[in-house]
Amino acid sequence: MVLDPDPTQIITNAIQNFGKDISHHRSAAELCSKDVNACAHVLGEVSSHIDTAIRKFRDLNSVKASDLERNSDDVMLSVKYIKFLRILCLVCSMNGTDTSVPRDQFLSIIVPLARLIEYTPSDSDVFSASEAALHALLHLFTSSCSYERLRGLRSDIGNSASVRNELWQILKTVITESRDKSSEVKKTAAFSVWLKWFDVQEVQPFASGLIELGPNQELLRCDKSYWHLLQTGLLHGSSNRRKTCLQILSESIQRLHCEVFNEVFVFRPKEKELIAAQFARYRFLFEAISLGRYINQVEECLPYLNWTMSKDSHVHPSWVLVLLQAAFEPSSTEGIRKFVANWYMRGQPDTFPPSKHHLDFLLLSFLPWAMQGTHFTSSFRARDSNADATVSCEHGELLSSCIRGLIQALPDDGFIQLYVSELLLYLCEHGFVHGVAFVLHGIAEALEKRPSWLNRKHVETLIKISERDGYPDVARRAITADCSRLCEIATNHLEDLSTTIGYRALRDRWLKIYHEADGVEIPDRSLLSEEKGPCLTVLVAELEKTKYQCLSGPNLITCYKFISDFLDASEGSLEPANNLEVLHKSKYALGEHSRETKAELPEHQPEITPSDLKSKSQDSDGLDEVHNLFIVVDAVWNEMEIQDYPKRALMDTPSIFLHPVCLSQSMRSSKSAISLRSLLSDILLAMQKICQTRIYAFPPLAAAMRAAYLSNPEVASILPLGKFFVEFANHPPTTKNDFYLEAAVAPLLTARVPRVSFQTYYGVDKSYGFACMFDMLNRLRPEEFKLAQGTLETLLKPWMEQNTPVPTWSKWKTALQLQTMLILVDVVIPSAQLNQGLRLAYLMHFHKLVDIEPLPRYRYLLEWIVIRFYANFPRLRDDLFSRLSTSDHHQPRAIAALIRISALVTCLSDSSPESLLSVITALVAMSASPRIAVRHESQWYFPRLWDHAESKGWVKITSNPALVALNNHIRQLDKYSKPPPERLIDFENHELDHSMTNLVEGGYMGLAPPEAPLAKRQDFQMVWERDAVVLGRWNQRMPPLRIPLGEAFKTVSLPEQASKDAAPAVTKTADSSIGVPLQTKSLLPSTFSALSPDFGHEFEPKFSARPTPVLVIGSLIDAAYNLGGLSRVSEIFGAAALHVNSLDVLRSKDFTSVAVSSERHLPIQELQKDAVRDFLLEKKADGYVVVGLEQTDQSYVLGGGEEERAAKLPFRTVLVIGSEKEGIPAKLLAECDMCVEIKQVGVTRSMNVQTAAAVALYEWSRQHFRGS
């Protein structure tokens, strides 16, 4: 006799062997669902194991909990029972009336499962199994599961209410408390359970009453934390968590039937339909702005966002603030954050009623973003492209205006006290320093008319703000001015503030700033008594007496003024002194130069002969005073280094150390003079490097160097001017962002002290310094031939050593190098000291550079340099014209340059009719060249040569019928009558265009990529206006200009696009030894259909066994184009089936054009969007794992490395692909067993859906078919 097997034993064995044979799990669950006793036994075991796990995990930290899970057999068995519970719930949900299970036992397991989620680590198997089981358990009580499916139902209202209340308390605990690092994952799980909880319907099976398991009216109406927790969920976390919260919000409003009035949510049942519609729009806004990826979608939402803030809106402002605050989360794109911030700053702050929510938004989201330095440095706007002092900061001004408007709109004293206090406290500890200046200025402007709302605490905070470290010069003064102004406002109604710590110091700093505007200096202490006068002997004695401490701090400025007065008063007769001991201690004493110092000395330091010193005094008194001068300069420079080059002293340094008196004394032949020369040389080169980071020091340095040379040209023999010029050309000083910020903040200070401007603290603009350098180079004497030649060769060498083809852009190349070489060419080339062979070599070098240089701006300057050779030496022109006639057209760019140079040289005033006839004859043939560049260049310059011949009256040329016909034809062409803007920068008349004005700000500077001019015409005029003051007392004759200033001209605006003449990219050809790849794509049926009209009718879809069990869910995708691509990649990677929302898409042209007949080989089934959730649950019960392709905080990385959460895709996978815009909705994300994403390194937020699906399917194939 064969005994029937015990169902309980069968089920128990299946549970204990869980995971070995997945096909037995569902069979055991089916058996359990049909046997009441077995089901009751299993549920009892499940409950017992859950209680055991709770006891073990309670009060354990995450490390001990992980060890417990790995080493405890009881815990591992509990995991198996919980996983089986999930399958049992899913089977019971689907089997309908064939199920007979004890409902009360299922109900009793809900709270323990939730407790287990609360106590276990989020990365443990217990946690993941408990979350999945709780979802399935709640689904058992949803509206889709008929109540009649649950038999033996004697459950009362109190039991269900108790479960509901306990579950809600657990969810609140998980959401609000952070127990470990995995709290964010737990919070996401809690919100997911919360959403699932809404699916539980209120049912009334018998007269015993209503069974309420889901959220009820009392919870929605009375529990204030309910709506606060929803806002918390929307503020932080992953996108799927926020989607879940938005869905919970919608479900909550739909379930509400009673009035709700609290500080964040107002609901009236009679307006339910209107409120639901407006919150649906709010949900759309939130998804587009806070969860969106595309700025164009956000811009389209702007009208809806404005309307949401209107009086007609039923959406409480706190929800809008939640939306805005969520938009500033790191997961949002920078473009969206910037858009939201600008929308808020441009008039919205006063539309929000004052509240804690608004203040939290300001302090926690808006200001931390708005006070980042990058937003200030990226919004500079220059009213003058060449003047740093006219720079404004759009973001800073907008932020200041926003804060001013916000405070002015506050309705009463209490809110003003609160807002101002919090803002000042924020500025006291946070924020970009220049941002502090802008925000503080906004507060000051707002409170000037409302002084009664400043109290003593405000004053104390203002003092702390003014004492913050790290303020730059102008920002510190602007902040001090506004802090002082606010304190003055407070004194109108507060008692004496002099007893407040720091108030007097703040007041003194403000008075010093105020008097600086009037030129009144308030010294900290006197260095020397007035009766001693400016005497170096006294200063050296003071240095020895105080051991150089007399130079410390602000006394350095006093010492500078003393030295300056001494040098201005001296005329060569110096007082005697004897301080050789101090001299020998200096590192610049003769014979003690370091290697570095020697390397920086001029290479050819000329010896000073007796004939050079005839005009110099040699008496001992003068020599001793040179010692004193050296000691003072050395001591002051050392103190400069110690104080890290303070701004004011740094700006005064060049006028002192390069003072003509100081330089003239260094020309003596004594040991002290030689040491002084070495020191001054080192200071000059060091100052030049300092100018790279402190641009304000460059104009004084350039002006002082120019004044020194023009007042005494012999300084060229004692200072390393060659190195100075080369460094100037190779590394021109550039304006850093911190300097622009100072210029942008300066108007805030000017608003308090109108007499103060940016120039008050930073002097003239850098363009003045460049004008000084250009003018100095332009006035080099013929005696400086060696200096000019050495500088020219040093600059030319790297240009000649370039590898060809030359790249379009190189970091080391600058237009300033070519501008400097152009000026030096006019010094070197005409010189009698240059032999003809070397002159020709230079010419060939520049010709070569013209041929290989791809950048139009550089090529323009190189052609200008070449023309200068032919302008200075007419006998070289015959060779140029012969080259033009015999040139090979295989190098069109070089020929085009040769045409331009020849045409311009021929139009010089001293040209002959024979040379013009030679050139214009060559252009006749070139006008028909097959090379476009050659043909266009010839046709452009032919009429200009004709005009020159007419102006000269050369009838032999203008009467030639062939030339007349060609001239008339070219002038009728559109490209000549309507030339492109680039043509307008060409030389009209080289002799007139050869000017400093054209050199520094000519139209060629606008060629792509455009470059701002370093100086302008008015800068040269300003330099010359100051010459009378600076150089007048030295009675030195000004060397003449080699290149005239020229006339002002209108700037030509050019299109910002790459030059057509740019060198094409060089592509390496494949090795000829490698065979040509053979095309291996098969000919698709669609191709045959195109060849044979009858082929399509003969071909029928034949679905053989698919290579993989993967199911692709594309039901959420709307675009037929994307579905066609999804069909294509699904078939290629062997998916078992593709599910779409409607089979009608298969007839779409967009689908078939991309699918390329893949639908003939791949089963495509209809699965409507509303049925996706039930389909996923069914597949889960069959052993499938649902994988969502979505970017979340829990997503695994496809193809991830060891340091990443690498995705291990299960063999039986259901791959869910989200919609194009919204991705996977919250309800379906809750059903996903895991989410995967693709690692990205670019800035674009996501891939196209078909591309992402292809990556996921390939990764599945790689993992499971490796080696197949």
Can you give the three-state secondary structure of 291-312, one letter per residue?
A: CCCCHHHHHHCHHHHHHHCCCC
**Do 540 and 491 share a structural domain?**
no
**Do 714 and 800 share a structural domain?**
no
**Do 501 and 534 share a structural domain?**
no
- Residue 447, pLDDT score: 87
Mean pLDDT of 422-442: 91
- Judged on CB neighbours under 10 Å (0-12, 13-18, 19+), 849 is buried
Tell which residue, 380, 371, 316, 381, has the closest CA to residue 341. 371
- Residue 600, pLDDT score: 38
Q: How far apart are CA 1215 and CA 611, in angstroms?
A: 95
- Under the banding of pLDDT at 50, 70 and 90, the label for residue 425 is very high
Does residue 745 lie within any of the structural domains?
A: no
The domain of 839 spans 783-1030
- Under the banding of pLDDT at 50, 70 and 90, the label for residue 1201 is confident
Half-sphere exposure of 1075 (CA within 13 A, CB side): 3
To which H or E segment does residue 15 belong? Answer: helix 7-16
What six digits make up the tokens of 1115? 């039901």
- Residue 151, pLDDT score: 43
CB 1204 within 8 A of CB 1256: no
pLDDT tens per residue across span 899-916: 999 999 998 988 899 998
Can you give the three-state secondary structure of 972-1031, one letter per residue?
A: CCHHHHCCCHHHHHCCCCHHHHCCHHHHHHCHHHHCCCCCCCCCCHHHHHHHHHHHHHHC
DSSP state of 1058: -
Mean pLDDT of 444-462: 82
* Distances from the Cα of 877 to the Cα of 145, 868, 892, angstroms: 100, 11, 21
Does residue 6 lie within any of the structural domains?
A: yes
Q: How far apart are CA 287 and CA 616, in angstroms?
A: 84
Can you give the three-state secondary structure of 1160-1223, one letter per residue?
A: HCCCEEECCHHHHHHHHHHHHHCCCEEEEECCCCCCEEECCCCCCCECCCCCCEEEEECECCCE
Tell which residue, 1165, 1126, 1162, 1150, has the closest CA to residue 1255. 1126
Does residue 141 lie within any of the structural domains?
A: yes
Q: How far apart are CA 308 and CA 320, in angstroms?
A: 8
DSSP state of 803: P
What six digits make up the tokens of 173? 């605990």
Amino acid at 1010: P
- Under the banding of pLDDT at 50, 70 and 90, the label for residue 614 is very low
Tell which residue, 579, 543, 560, 530, has the closest CA to residue 662. 560
DSSP state of 494: S
- Residue 613, pLDDT score: 37
Mean pLDDT of 592-613: 38
Does residue 1083 lie within any of the structural domains?
A: no
Mean pLDDT of 989-1005: 88
Does residue 383 lie within any of the structural domains?
A: yes
pLDDT tens per residue across span 472-518: 888 999 999 999 988 888 877 777 777 788 888 988 888 888 877 55
Q: What is the per-residue DSSP string for 832-889? A: TTS-HHHHHHHHHHHHHHHHH---HHHHHHHHHHHHHHHHH-GGGHHHHHHHHHT--T
Tell which residue, 1145, 1155, 1157, has the closest CA to residue 1117. 1145
Tell which residue, 140, 136, 159, has the closest CA to residue 150. 140
**Do 426 and 494 share a structural domain?**
yes
**Do 497 and 536 share a structural domain?**
no
Tell me if the bond preceding 699 is cis, omega within 30° of 0: no
Residue 205, pLDDT above cutoff 50: no
**Do 8 and 98 share a structural domain?**
yes
Residue 533, pLDDT above cutoff 60: no
DSSP state of 391: E
The CA dihedral of 1045, 1047, 1053, 1054, to the nearest 10 degrees, is -60
Mean pLDDT of 1202-1230: 85
Does residue 981 lie within any of the structural domains?
A: yes
Q: What is the per-residue DSSP string for 92-152? A: HHHHGGG--EEHHHHHHHHHHHHHHHHHS-TTSHHHHHHHHHHHHHHHTTBTTS-GGGEES
**Do 711 and 679 share a structural domain?**
yes
pLDDT tens per residue across span 48-101: 888 888 888 776 655 555 566 566 777 888 888 888 888 888 888 777 544 555
Any idea what the CATH number is for the domain that residue 480 is in? 1.25.10
Task: Quote the mean pLDDT of the chain.
Answer: 80
**Do 428 and 390 share a structural domain?**
yes
CB 516 within 8 A of CB 756: yes
Distance, C-alpha 1177 to centroid of its chain:
45
CB 19 within 8 A of CB 78: no
Residue 172, pLDDT above cutoff 70: yes
- Beta strand 1137-1140 with 380-382 is unpaired
Q: How far apart are CA 357 and CA 122, in angstroms?
A: 31
Last residue of a domain, one of 490, 516, 542: 516
- Residue 742, pLDDT score: 87
Q: Which residue has the higher pLDDT, 910 or 602?
A: 910
Last residue of a domain, one of 981, 997, 1030: 1030
CB 847 within 8 A of CB 900: no
Mean pLDDT of 33-51: 84
- Beta strand 391-393 with 380-382 is antiparallel
Residue 369, pLDDT above cutoff 90: yes
Tell me if the bond preceding 805 is cis, omega within 30° of 0: yes
Tell which residue, 160, 83, 88, 149, has the closest CA to residue 116. 83
How many structural domains comprise the chain? 5
Any idea what the CATH number is for the domain that residue 1251 is in? 3.40.1280.10
Does residue 140 lie within any of the structural domains?
A: yes
Q: Which residue has the higher pLDDT, 607 or 555?
A: 555
Nearest 5 degrees, angle CA 1224-CA 1182-CA 1104? 90
Evaluated on CA atoms 1155, 1161, 1163, 1166, the torsion sign reads positive
- Beta strand 1137-1140 with 1111-1113 is parallel
- Residue 100, pLDDT score: 55
Q: What is the per-residue DSSP string for 1098-1152? A: H--------S---EEE-TT---HHHHHHHHHHHHHTT-SEEEES-GGGGG-HHHH
- Residue 59, pLDDT score: 63
- Residue 1049, pLDDT score: 64
CB 372 within 8 A of CB 432: yes
Three-state secondary structure call for residue 203: strand
What six digits make up the tokens of 980? 């492109």
- Residue 165, pLDDT score: 85
pLDDT tens per residue across span 1041-1084: 999 998 886 554 444 443 333 333 333 333 333 333 433 343 33
- Residue 984, pLDDT score: 63
Three-state secondary structure call for residue 477: helix
- How many other C-beta atoms are found inside a 10 Å radius of the C-beta of residue 707? 23
What's the residue count for the chain?
1268
pTM of the model: 0.73
- Under the banding of pLDDT at 50, 70 and 90, the label for residue 395 is very high
Which stretch of 103-112, 546-555, 1031-1040, 1150-1159 has the lowest confidence by average pLDDT? 1031-1040
- Residue 23, pLDDT score: 63
Rg over alpha carbons for the chain, rounded to the nearest Å, is 42
CB 92 within 8 A of CB 1181: no
pLDDT tens per residue across span 260-312: 888 888 889 899 999 999 999 999 888 888 887 777 778 888 888 888 888 88
Residue 442, pLDDT above cutoff 90: yes
To which H or E segment does residue 963 belong? Answer: helix 961-971
Last residue of a domain, one of 171, 193, 214: 214
- Under the banding of pLDDT at 50, 70 and 90, the label for residue 102 is low
- Under the banding of pLDDT at 50, 70 and 90, the label for residue 1096 is very low
Q: How far apart are CA 299 and CA 294, in angstroms?
A: 9
Amino acid at 323: L
* Distances from the Cα of 1055 to the Cα of 337, 564, 1007, 1009, angstroms: 31, 50, 8, 10
Mean pLDDT of 403-418: 85
pLDDT tens per residue across span 219-268: 888 888 899 999 988 988 888 888 899 999 998 998 888 888 888 888 89
**Do 534 and 512 share a structural domain?**
no
* Distances from the Cα of 662 to the Cα of 483, 565, 630, angstroms: 44, 12, 9
Query: What are the two backbone dihedrals, phi and then psi, of residue 937, each rounded to the nearest 5 degrees?
Result: -65, -40
**Do 489 and 550 share a structural domain?**
no
Q: How far apart are CA 560 and CA 551, in angstroms?
A: 10
**Do 544 and 473 share a structural domain?**
no
Q: End-to-end alpha-carbon separation of the chain, Å? A: 50
**Do 537 and 481 share a structural domain?**
no
Residue 960, pLDDT above cutoff 50: yes
What six digits make up the tokens of 587? 């590192």
Three-state secondary structure call for residue 439: helix
Q: How far apart are CA 1024 and CA 565, in angstroms?
A: 24
Share of residues in the chain with pLDDT > 70 (%): 81
Q: How far apart are CA 190 and CA 173, in angstroms?
A: 9
